[in-house]
Amino acid sequence: LRAQGREIVPLDLELDRKRRILVISGPNAGGKSVCLKTTGIVQYMFQCGFLVPASENSELPLFEGLFIDIGDEQSIDDDLSTYSSHLRNMKELLAMASGRTLALIDEFGSGTEPTIGGAIAEAILERLLEKGCYGVITTHYANIKYFASGTEGIANGAMLFDVQQIKPLFRLETGKPGSSFAIEIARKIGLPEQIIRSAGEKAGSDHVNIEKQLREIARDRRYWEQKRDRIRLTDRKVEELERSYAEQLARIRAERTEIIRAARQEAQELVAEANRQIENTIRTIREAQAERDLTRMARQELDDFRQAVEQADDRADERAERVAREMERVERRLQRRAEKKKEPTAEPAATPAEQPRQIVVGSKVRIAGQEVPGVVQSIKGRRAQVAFGQILTTVDLALLTAVSNNEYREATRPQTARTVVAVDISERRLRFRDHIDVRGMRASEALEAVQDLVDDALMVGVGSVTILHGKGTGALKEEIRRYLRSVPEVASAADEHADRGGAGITIVTFKTD
């Protein structure tokens, strides 16, 4: 299969004392017989002492008898029809069946008139269950599916089918019967629509409705499986964003420290230069004996220098303010991420206050407001270098809290893939609004609002959102579009229809895969 570029699909099958017989239904060419034959081959290999292609935690019993009814054994010499050959096999099976017997029956009850054939098959199945026989059976008969649904010891199973693409998935699902998808397969093959409609009328509304309900169950399950996979992907992306924000915040704090240090050094140099300039000015005035022109020139030089100092101070303030704004924005986003992940938990009982542990090299620590712990690699003054997995970050000691070895092991223990998002998606969907108005905002404020909208939209899984930014000079629209082009999950960002706002509104469409 790999050589042909085709997918290998494993089967997940379980029989036990409470559920001895599995009745598999589903479409033609959907894998029912393949499932049956796979079960028989694996069991026979196991009983012959061969290694079997199964997971390491699989358990297989030893049977005293394996009975297989697959294919057609009709014979002119023995005067056996297709149905007669099946009945002879069933006779031998009923005579030998016990709690140590495995029966594999393909197309159970087929080969004769459906009503009586289905009734005989149901009676045989009931007798096999009374004898404690184990079995895997494939069928298209509705009465066998109903009997399995209401009888203890028998379970329904279905081979899954892709309704949209009209193709089998070869995956076994237990618990529900499967539809034969006869109408869909006939339509795909190209049978005239008039014949298909006539067949539906002849089958009757009850049969068509049952088949329709089974198809809807299969379609809904497929839809929710895809939705669950998208939620898992969104969960991973949220965690990646959190790590990115933490790294970004640490980098901004380091840049802020460097800017403050450079600004202080520059201020000291400016003060020293100012003192030299003042002394030179005083000396020039004294040497020129206070001549007006020289005095005026000296004062002008002093005024020019003072303006240069003020401009340098303004630039330093502007840089510090920009860094502070960026830090505040990232911290707000981190706080929102933490709130989204927070689950309702019971209030812990009050405990006596513990003395804070001293942080040294090798200590297990956690940054305030963060969940992932790290290990202190080195300490220089009031700052420590901490390893969070493969990432090294320099952090102020005041922001670190020591954690115990047990807490560190629990937090860093490998986890299996989570199957749910730690956020109440239903509640967020109810509060979510798929449109936003950023007119009148500054570019930075508008971008932050758009980022929040995109994050929330990806979280709840909507297909598109609307951003009202107005036309104006087009600068705000271009900034928003530039950001949207950098988001991998955005499929397109286009103008609204001319009748509904045109270039003043952007419609953002997200990728569905």
- In this prediction, residues 482-492 reach a mean pLDDT of 86
Determine the pLDDT at residue 351: 44
Higher pLDDT, 128 or 207: 128
Mean pLDDT of 432-458: 85
Least confident of 87-96, 185-194, 291-300: 291-300
Per-residue confidence band for 81, with pLDDT thresholds at 50, 70 and 90? low
Q: What is the DSSP letter of 75?
A: B
Residues 6+ apart with CB under 8 A from 447: 479, 480, 483
Among 289-303, 308-322, 452-466, which range has the highest average pLDDT? 452-466
State the distance between the two ends of the chain, measured CA to CA, in whole angstroms.
25
- Closest among 511, 508, 444 to 481, alpha carbons compared: 508
Classify domain 21-203 at the CATH class level. alpha beta
Domain residue extents for the chain: 21-203, 237-341, 364-411, 425-510
Q: Is 132's pLDDT higher than 90?
A: yes
Provide the pLDDT for residue 94. Answer: 92
Q: Give percent of the chain above pLDDT 90.
A: 16
Q: What is the pLDDT of residue 134?
A: 96
Q: What is the mean pLDDT of residues 363-377?
A: 80
Mean pLDDT of 165-169: 75
Strands 374-380 and 364-367: antiparallel
- Looking at 201-282, which runs of residues are DSSP E strands? none
State mean pLDDT over 34-38.
91
Give yes or no for a contact between 331 and 370, defined as CB atoms under 8 angstroms apart.
Answer: no
- For residue 100, pLDDT over 90 is answered with yes
CB half-sphere exposure, 513, CA atoms < 13 A: 2
pTM value is 0.42
Region 58-87: mean pLDDT is 74
Nearest to 371 by CA among 344, 338, 329, 332: 338
pLDDT computed for residue 385 by the predictor: 82
pLDDT digits (tens, 9 = 90+) for 217-241: 666 666 677 778 788 888 888 888 7
176 φ, ψ to 5°?
Answer: -135, 145
Question: What's the whole-number average pLDDT of the chain?
Answer: 77
| Nearest Cα residue to 377 out of 368, 367, 365 | 365
At residue 345 the predicted structure's pLDDT band, cuts being 50, 70 and 90, is very low
Question: Does residue 208 have a pLDDT over 60?
Answer: no
pLDDT class of 150 with cuts at 50, 70, 90? confident
Answer with the residue of higher pLDDT: 102 or 109: 102
What would the mean pLDDT of 64-86 be, rounded to a whole number? Answer: 69
Contact (Cβ atoms closer than 8 angstroms) between residue 326 and residue 249:
no
Q: Quick one: pLDDT band at residue 143, thresholds 50, 70, 90?
A: confident
pLDDT grade for 353, boundaries at 50, 70 and 90: very low
Residue 503: both structure tokens together: 């270039």
Q: Is the pLDDT of residue 423 over 50?
A: no
Contacts of 111 (CB under 8 A, 6+ apart): 81, 82, 83, 86, 117
- The phi, psi pair for 378, rounded to 5°, reads -160, 160
Quickly state the pLDDT bin for 421 (edges 50, 70, 90): very low
Helix or strand run (H / E) with residue 173: strand 167-174
| Domain 364-411: top CATH class | mainly beta
pLDDT band of residue 346 (cuts 50, 70, 90) is very low
The per-residue pLDDT for 506 is 92
Secondary structure (DSSP) of 11-55:
------SS--EEEEE--TTSSHHHHHHHHHHHHHHHHTT---SS-
Q: For residues 422 and 238, what is the distance between their CA atoms, to the nearest angstrom?
A: 10
CATH 3.30.1370.110 assigned to 425-510: yes
Task: Find the mean pLDDT for residues 379-390.
Answer: 78
Give mean pLDDT, residues 197-222: 61
Please check the confidence at residue 34 and state whether its pLDDT lies above 70: yes
Instruction: Name the band, by pLDDT with cuts 50, 70 and 90, for residue 362.
Output: confident
